[in-house]
Amino acid sequence: MSTTIAKSRAKMNLRSAMTKLRLTVSLIISAAFLGSGASGHEYPQDAVLYSGSIGGTKVIVTASCRPFDRSAHKTTPLINRGTEDRPDWRSATVDGIDVVGTDETLPKDGIPQLSSMIIVFGTKRVEIPAKHLHHVFLPNLFPATFSSDHYVSTLIAFSADAKAVYISLGVGDGGGAGTYNLFVTDDGKVDSNPIQRPEP
């Protein structure tokens, strides 16, 4: 009788241990899934957009993104400041700057947000200030190379003296797809206005 009870208890203990093991494995898988971005988005870190040499000067451009967190920024939604008959739509903003990479709407939490960009001009390192980055969403952080069909997501042009760089970064998808452009000099000046050419 005692042997039968002992065997029964052993089976119960084994079942309990197996149940706990399955639960632990399920929790680990769930945590890994959530940690890798259950939204299906990727968040590249220190992606190398360009690495090369211009006139003997080593130049590197890297960028990173992170999941957007509305609570970490001052935001405003897309709003119609006009009337229904005469609409005057104003883009959503992040930290006072119009969003880029969406269809002017404020993105949901978790959408990839441009979080850093670093340009190395030889011995000089320029970190792009947050005000030029945090309003940019769904950045395509791919190397500046052309595909076989002449499509390019990232376009980078250095000046011949390696003291300035123009970056045109593909951003968004669908209705929000477009480009975000930056002009950066080795002394740390950053401008997001279009490049100006001299008048003829």
Q: Above 50 in pLDDT, residue 19?
A: no
pLDDT tens, position by position, 117-173: 999 999 999 999 999 999 999 999 999 887 777 778 899 999 999 999 999 999 998
Q: Where are the domains of the chain?
A: 1-36, 47-191
Which pLDDT score, from 0 to 100, does residue 7 have?
A: 52
Which pLDDT score, from 0 to 100, does residue 139 have?
A: 95
Q: Above 90 in pLDDT, residue 60?
A: yes
pLDDT tens, position by position, 64-115: 999 999 999 999 999 999 888 999 999 999 999 999 999 899 999 999 999 9
Which pLDDT score, from 0 to 100, does residue 29 have?
A: 35
Of residues 68 and 21, more confidently modeled: 68
Which pLDDT score, from 0 to 100, does residue 33 have?
A: 37
**Predicted structure pTM score:** 0.76
DSSP string of the chain, one letter each residue? -HHHHHHHHHHHHHHHHHHHHHHHHHHHHHHHHHHTTTTS----SSEEEEEEEETTEEEEEEEEEEE--GGGS-EE--EE-S-SSS--EE--EETTEE-BSSSSSPPPTTSEEEEEEEEEETTEEEEPPGGGTTTBBSB----S---TTS--SEEEEE-TTSSEEEEEEEE--GGG-EEEEEEEETTS-EE-SPPP----
